[in-house]
Structure 1
Amino acid sequence: MPDTGWDENRRRGRNETEDERADRMWTELIQEVRVAQMGVQILFGFLLTVVFTPKYADLSGTDQTIYIVTVVLGACATGALIGPVALHRLVSGRRIKAHAVRWASRLTLLGLALLLATTSCSLLLILRVATDDDYVPYLVTGVVFWYLLCWFGLPIWARYRHTTR
Protein backbone atom coordinates (compact mmCIF):
# COMPACT_ATOMS: atom_id res chain seq x y z
CA MET A 1 0.00 0.00 0.00
CA PRO A 2 1.50 3.40 -0.96
CA ASP A 3 2.29 5.88 1.78
CA THR A 4 -0.32 8.63 1.47
CA GLY A 5 0.89 10.55 4.46
CA TRP A 6 -2.58 10.16 5.96
CA ASP A 7 -1.32 9.48 9.47
CA GLU A 8 1.00 12.48 9.31
CA ASN A 9 -1.77 14.76 8.01
CA ARG A 10 -4.23 13.52 10.59
CA ARG A 11 -1.78 14.11 13.41
CA ARG A 12 -0.92 17.66 12.33
CA GLY A 13 -4.39 18.51 11.06
CA ARG A 14 -3.15 20.09 7.83
CA ASN A 15 -1.55 18.93 4.65
CA GLU A 16 1.35 21.38 4.61
CA THR A 17 5.09 21.22 4.39
CA GLU A 18 7.31 22.45 7.20
CA ASP A 19 7.97 25.65 5.25
CA GLU A 20 4.26 26.20 4.60
CA ARG A 21 3.53 25.63 8.29
CA ALA A 22 6.25 28.12 9.29
CA ASP A 23 4.83 30.69 6.84
CA ARG A 24 1.30 30.22 8.22
CA MET A 25 2.45 30.39 11.82
CA TRP A 26 4.50 33.51 11.09
CA THR A 27 1.50 35.25 9.52
CA GLU A 28 -0.72 34.32 12.47
CA LEU A 29 1.91 35.47 14.97
CA ILE A 30 2.40 38.84 13.28
CA GLN A 31 -1.37 39.44 13.31
CA GLU A 32 -1.42 38.72 17.06
CA VAL A 33 1.60 40.95 17.68
CA ARG A 34 -0.07 43.84 15.85
CA VAL A 35 -2.90 43.84 18.37
CA ALA A 36 -0.56 43.75 21.37
CA GLN A 37 1.81 46.32 19.84
CA MET A 38 -1.01 48.79 19.37
CA GLY A 39 -2.04 48.49 23.00
CA VAL A 40 1.44 48.74 24.47
CA GLN A 41 2.46 51.63 22.23
CA ILE A 42 -0.63 53.68 23.14
CA LEU A 43 -0.16 52.94 26.84
CA PHE A 44 3.56 53.70 26.68
CA GLY A 45 2.91 56.94 24.80
CA PHE A 46 0.52 58.14 27.48
CA LEU A 47 2.95 57.12 30.21
CA LEU A 48 5.71 59.18 28.63
CA THR A 49 3.61 62.34 28.84
CA VAL A 50 2.79 62.07 32.56
CA VAL A 51 6.17 63.32 33.75
CA PHE A 52 5.60 66.59 31.86
CA THR A 53 2.31 67.41 33.60
CA PRO A 54 2.09 69.69 36.65
CA LYS A 55 0.47 66.85 38.66
CA TYR A 56 3.68 64.77 38.48
CA ALA A 57 5.53 67.06 40.92
CA ASP A 58 2.71 66.55 43.45
CA LEU A 59 3.08 62.73 43.43
CA SER A 60 4.51 61.10 46.53
CA GLY A 61 7.91 59.44 46.37
CA THR A 62 6.20 56.04 46.27
CA ASP A 63 3.95 57.09 43.39
CA GLN A 64 6.90 58.49 41.46
CA THR A 65 8.72 55.19 41.95
CA ILE A 66 5.67 53.28 40.71
CA TYR A 67 5.59 55.60 37.70
CA ILE A 68 9.28 55.05 36.88
CA VAL A 69 8.91 51.26 37.19
CA THR A 70 5.81 51.43 34.99
CA VAL A 71 7.60 53.42 32.28
CA VAL A 72 10.55 51.01 32.28
CA LEU A 73 8.19 48.02 32.08
CA GLY A 74 6.34 49.72 29.21
CA ALA A 75 9.62 50.30 27.37
CA CYS A 76 10.58 46.64 27.85
CA ALA A 77 7.15 45.44 26.70
CA THR A 78 7.40 47.64 23.61
CA GLY A 79 10.83 46.21 22.83
CA ALA A 80 9.69 42.60 23.24
CA LEU A 81 6.58 43.10 21.11
CA ILE A 82 8.45 44.90 18.32
CA GLY A 83 11.25 42.32 18.53
CA PRO A 84 9.57 39.79 16.22
CA VAL A 85 9.49 42.38 13.41
CA ALA A 86 13.21 43.08 13.75
CA LEU A 87 13.92 39.37 14.05
CA HIS A 88 12.04 38.66 10.84
CA ARG A 89 13.78 41.47 8.98
CA LEU A 90 17.25 40.36 10.06
CA VAL A 91 16.80 36.64 9.34
CA SER A 92 14.54 36.91 6.28
CA GLY A 93 15.85 34.82 3.40
CA ARG A 94 18.16 32.75 5.62
CA ARG A 95 15.87 29.68 5.51
CA ILE A 96 15.38 29.58 9.27
CA LYS A 97 11.77 30.68 9.45
CA ALA A 98 10.72 27.81 11.74
CA HIS A 99 13.38 28.91 14.24
CA ALA A 100 12.40 32.56 13.80
CA VAL A 101 8.76 31.67 14.54
CA ARG A 102 9.79 29.97 17.79
CA TRP A 103 11.91 32.94 18.90
CA ALA A 104 9.26 35.45 17.86
CA SER A 105 6.66 33.46 19.79
CA ARG A 106 8.84 33.59 22.90
CA LEU A 107 9.37 37.32 22.51
CA THR A 108 5.61 37.78 22.12
CA LEU A 109 4.85 35.82 25.29
CA LEU A 110 7.50 37.83 27.14
CA GLY A 111 5.99 41.02 25.74
CA LEU A 112 2.52 39.99 26.93
CA ALA A 113 3.86 39.30 30.43
CA LEU A 114 5.58 42.70 30.45
CA LEU A 115 2.41 44.32 29.14
CA LEU A 116 0.52 42.69 32.00
CA ALA A 117 3.01 44.15 34.47
CA THR A 118 2.87 47.58 32.79
CA THR A 119 -0.91 47.66 32.79
CA SER A 120 -1.06 46.50 36.40
CA CYS A 121 1.40 49.14 37.57
CA SER A 122 -0.45 51.80 35.57
CA LEU A 123 -3.72 50.80 37.21
CA LEU A 124 -2.08 50.83 40.63
CA LEU A 125 -0.69 54.32 40.09
CA ILE A 126 -3.94 55.72 38.69
CA LEU A 127 -6.04 54.29 41.51
CA ARG A 128 -3.56 55.48 44.17
CA VAL A 129 -3.77 59.01 42.76
CA ALA A 130 -7.54 58.90 42.21
CA THR A 131 -8.47 57.55 45.64
CA ASP A 132 -7.03 57.11 49.11
CA ASP A 133 -9.03 53.98 49.82
CA ASP A 134 -7.37 50.87 51.22
CA TYR A 135 -9.10 48.61 48.69
CA VAL A 136 -6.81 49.69 45.79
CA PRO A 137 -4.31 46.79 46.16
CA TYR A 138 -7.18 44.30 46.25
CA LEU A 139 -8.80 45.81 43.19
CA VAL A 140 -5.50 45.75 41.28
CA THR A 141 -4.91 42.14 42.38
CA GLY A 142 -8.37 41.21 41.09
CA VAL A 143 -7.64 42.82 37.72
CA VAL A 144 -4.26 41.03 37.53
CA PHE A 145 -5.99 37.70 38.14
CA TRP A 146 -8.53 38.59 35.44
CA TYR A 147 -5.73 39.30 32.96
CA LEU A 148 -3.95 36.08 33.93
CA LEU A 149 -7.17 34.15 33.36
CA CYS A 150 -7.95 35.79 30.00
CA TRP A 151 -4.43 35.94 28.60
CA PHE A 152 -2.92 32.73 29.94
CA GLY A 153 -5.33 30.58 31.97
CA LEU A 154 -8.07 30.07 29.38
CA PRO A 155 -5.66 29.59 26.46
CA ILE A 156 -3.60 27.05 28.42
CA TRP A 157 -6.75 25.26 29.55
CA ALA A 158 -8.06 25.13 25.96
CA ARG A 159 -4.70 23.94 24.69
CA TYR A 160 -4.61 20.96 27.05
CA ARG A 161 -8.35 20.28 27.04
CA HIS A 162 -8.88 20.27 23.29
CA THR A 163 -5.52 19.22 21.86
CA THR A 164 -5.65 15.72 20.43
CA ARG A 165 -2.98 13.50 21.80
Structure 2
Amino acid sequence: MVARTVRITPIEPRPMPQPPRYETPEQRADRNLVELLQELRVAQTGVQILFAFLLGVAFTSRFPQLSAFQRGIYAATLLLTVITAAVLATPVALHRGLFHRGAKPRIVALSARYAEVGLMFLALAINGAVLLLLDVVFGHIAAIALTAATTAMFACLWFVVPWYLRRS
Protein backbone atom coordinates (compact mmCIF):
# COMPACT_ATOMS: atom_id res chain seq x y z
CA MET A 1 0.00 0.00 0.00
CA VAL A 2 1.35 3.40 -0.97
CA ALA A 3 0.73 6.33 1.33
CA ARG A 4 -0.59 9.36 -0.44
CA THR A 5 0.07 12.87 0.60
CA VAL A 6 -2.96 15.04 0.39
CA ARG A 7 -2.25 18.69 -0.13
CA ILE A 8 -4.86 21.07 1.13
CA THR A 9 -4.78 24.51 -0.34
CA PRO A 10 -6.60 27.28 1.45
CA ILE A 11 -9.69 28.55 -0.24
CA GLU A 12 -9.63 32.26 -0.73
CA PRO A 13 -12.90 33.90 0.14
CA ARG A 14 -14.57 35.46 -2.84
CA PRO A 15 -17.14 38.17 -2.50
CA MET A 16 -20.57 36.77 -3.12
CA PRO A 17 -22.36 38.62 -5.88
CA GLN A 18 -25.20 40.55 -4.35
CA PRO A 19 -28.48 40.73 -6.18
CA PRO A 20 -29.36 44.29 -7.07
CA ARG A 21 -31.66 46.02 -4.65
CA TYR A 22 -34.70 47.45 -6.28
CA GLU A 23 -35.42 50.24 -3.85
CA THR A 24 -36.13 53.88 -4.22
CA PRO A 25 -33.81 56.46 -2.63
CA GLU A 26 -36.45 56.91 0.09
CA GLN A 27 -36.57 53.17 0.77
CA ARG A 28 -32.77 53.05 0.90
CA ALA A 29 -32.72 55.94 3.37
CA ASP A 30 -35.37 54.19 5.50
CA ARG A 31 -33.35 50.96 5.53
CA ASN A 32 -30.09 52.73 6.26
CA LEU A 33 -31.62 54.66 9.14
CA VAL A 34 -33.14 51.53 10.68
CA GLU A 35 -29.78 49.73 10.45
CA LEU A 36 -27.92 52.69 11.93
CA LEU A 37 -30.35 53.08 14.82
CA GLN A 38 -30.01 49.37 15.61
CA GLU A 39 -26.22 49.73 15.71
CA LEU A 40 -26.54 52.74 18.00
CA ARG A 41 -28.78 50.78 20.39
CA VAL A 42 -25.97 48.29 20.90
CA ALA A 43 -23.38 51.02 21.46
CA GLN A 44 -25.68 52.99 23.76
CA THR A 45 -26.11 49.96 26.02
CA GLY A 46 -22.34 49.85 26.52
CA VAL A 47 -22.32 53.56 27.32
CA GLN A 48 -25.07 53.11 29.91
CA ILE A 49 -23.20 50.25 31.60
CA LEU A 50 -19.97 52.27 31.69
CA PHE A 51 -21.80 55.33 33.04
CA ALA A 52 -23.46 53.27 35.77
CA PHE A 53 -20.10 51.80 36.74
CA LEU A 54 -18.52 55.25 36.95
CA LEU A 55 -21.37 56.62 39.04
CA GLY A 56 -21.02 53.70 41.42
CA VAL A 57 -17.25 54.19 41.77
CA ALA A 58 -17.71 57.65 43.28
CA PHE A 59 -19.77 56.19 46.13
CA THR A 60 -17.39 53.41 47.14
CA SER A 61 -15.46 53.58 50.40
CA ARG A 62 -12.14 53.53 48.51
CA PHE A 63 -12.91 56.56 46.31
CA PRO A 64 -11.51 59.12 48.81
CA GLN A 65 -8.18 57.24 48.72
CA LEU A 66 -7.69 57.85 44.99
CA SER A 67 -4.71 60.00 44.04
CA ALA A 68 -5.13 63.32 42.25
CA PHE A 69 -4.06 61.59 39.01
CA GLN A 70 -6.71 58.91 39.48
CA ARG A 71 -9.40 61.47 40.27
CA GLY A 72 -8.44 63.35 37.11
CA ILE A 73 -8.77 60.17 35.08
CA TYR A 74 -12.12 59.50 36.74
CA ALA A 75 -13.46 62.99 35.98
CA ALA A 76 -12.23 62.91 32.38
CA THR A 77 -13.69 59.43 31.82
CA LEU A 78 -17.03 60.41 33.34
CA LEU A 79 -17.22 63.48 31.09
CA LEU A 80 -16.19 61.45 28.02
CA THR A 81 -18.99 59.02 28.83
CA VAL A 82 -21.52 61.87 29.08
CA ILE A 83 -20.32 63.27 25.74
CA THR A 84 -20.54 59.80 24.21
CA ALA A 85 -24.13 59.36 25.39
CA ALA A 86 -25.09 62.76 23.96
CA VAL A 87 -23.40 62.21 20.60
CA LEU A 88 -24.76 58.68 20.13
CA ALA A 89 -28.29 59.85 21.00
CA THR A 90 -28.15 62.74 18.53
CA PRO A 91 -29.33 60.66 15.54
CA VAL A 92 -32.52 59.88 17.43
CA ALA A 93 -33.02 63.58 18.18
CA LEU A 94 -32.35 64.44 14.53
CA HIS A 95 -34.91 61.90 13.39
CA ARG A 96 -37.50 63.18 15.85
CA GLY A 97 -36.79 66.83 15.05
CA LEU A 98 -36.94 66.37 11.28
CA PHE A 99 -39.65 63.71 11.18
CA HIS A 100 -41.96 64.02 8.13
CA ARG A 101 -39.90 66.85 6.65
CA GLY A 102 -38.49 64.88 3.71
CA ALA A 103 -35.00 65.01 5.15
CA LYS A 104 -34.33 61.31 5.72
CA PRO A 105 -31.26 61.06 3.42
CA ARG A 106 -29.76 64.07 5.21
CA ILE A 107 -30.63 62.56 8.60
CA VAL A 108 -28.90 59.31 7.60
CA ALA A 109 -25.76 61.11 6.39
CA LEU A 110 -25.50 63.26 9.53
CA SER A 111 -26.33 60.35 11.80
CA ALA A 112 -23.59 58.22 10.27
CA ARG A 113 -21.07 60.95 11.10
CA TYR A 114 -22.42 61.28 14.64
CA ALA A 115 -22.10 57.51 15.05
CA GLU A 116 -18.43 57.65 14.00
CA VAL A 117 -17.70 60.51 16.39
CA GLY A 118 -19.65 58.75 19.14
CA LEU A 119 -17.60 55.59 18.67
CA MET A 120 -14.42 57.64 18.98
CA PHE A 121 -15.62 59.11 22.27
CA LEU A 122 -16.77 55.67 23.44
CA ALA A 123 -13.32 54.22 22.74
CA LEU A 124 -11.75 57.08 24.72
CA ALA A 125 -14.19 56.61 27.61
CA ILE A 126 -13.64 52.85 27.78
CA ASN A 127 -9.89 53.34 27.71
CA GLY A 128 -10.19 55.99 30.42
CA ALA A 129 -11.95 53.43 32.62
CA VAL A 130 -9.24 50.88 31.77
CA LEU A 131 -6.54 53.40 32.70
CA LEU A 132 -8.22 54.19 36.02
CA LEU A 133 -8.66 50.57 37.01
CA LEU A 134 -5.20 49.49 35.90
CA ASP A 135 -3.63 52.44 37.70
CA VAL A 136 -5.32 51.39 40.93
CA VAL A 137 -4.28 47.77 40.46
CA PHE A 138 -0.79 48.01 38.88
CA GLY A 139 0.43 51.61 39.12
CA HIS A 140 1.13 54.33 36.56
CA ILE A 141 3.66 52.74 34.22
CA ALA A 142 1.88 49.43 33.70
CA ALA A 143 -1.49 51.17 33.45
CA ILE A 144 -0.27 53.58 30.78
CA ALA A 145 1.43 50.83 28.78
CA LEU A 146 -1.58 48.49 28.89
CA THR A 147 -4.01 51.31 28.12
CA ALA A 148 -1.90 52.34 25.14
CA ALA A 149 -2.28 48.77 23.88
CA THR A 150 -6.06 48.74 24.34
CA THR A 151 -6.34 52.17 22.73
CA ALA A 152 -4.38 50.92 19.72
CA MET A 153 -6.65 47.87 19.56
CA PHE A 154 -9.79 50.04 19.47
CA ALA A 155 -8.23 52.35 16.88
CA CYS A 156 -7.37 49.41 14.63
CA LEU A 157 -10.64 47.49 15.00
CA TRP A 158 -13.05 50.41 14.93
CA PHE A 159 -11.34 52.87 12.61
CA VAL A 160 -8.32 51.55 10.69
CA VAL A 161 -9.87 48.25 9.52
CA PRO A 162 -13.10 49.88 8.24
CA TRP A 163 -11.07 52.64 6.56
CA TYR A 164 -8.82 50.04 4.91
CA LEU A 165 -11.76 47.95 3.74
CA ARG A 166 -13.50 51.02 2.29
CA ARG A 167 -10.38 51.81 0.26
CA SER A 168 -9.92 48.29 -1.12
Same fold (TM over 0.5): yes
1:105 corresponds in structure 2 to: 112
The within-5 A match list for 1:16-165 is 16-132=23-139, 134-161=141-168
Q: What's the CA shift string for 1:137-161, capped at 9, x where partnerless? A: 1111111111111111111111111
| Structure 1 stretches lacking a partner, 5+ long | 1-12
Corresponding residue SS for 1:134: helix
**CA displacement at 1:45 relative to structure 2:** 1.2
Q: What is the aligned-residue identity percentage?
A: 38
Q: Contact 2:57–2:63 (CA<8 Å) still a contact in 1?
A: yes
CA distance in 1, matches of 2:65, 2:140: 18
1:6 corresponds in structure 2 to: none
Q: Contact 2:135–2:142 (CA<8 Å) still a contact in 1?
A: no
1:5 corresponds in structure 2 to: none
| Structure 2 stretches lacking a partner, 5+ long | 1-19
List structure 1 runs of 4+ shifted beyond 6 angstroms: none
Tell me the TM-score normalized by structure 2.
0.85
**Partner AA of 2:91 in structure 1:** P
CA distance in 2, matches of 1:145, 1:134: 17
CA distance in 1, matches of 2:143, 2:60: 23
Q: Which has the higher helix share?
A: 1
**CA displacement at 1:135 relative to structure 2:** 2.3
1:4 corresponds in structure 2 to: none
CA distance in 2, matches of 1:140, 1:147: 10
Corresponding residue SS for 2:62: helix
**Partner AA of 2:48 in structure 1:** Q
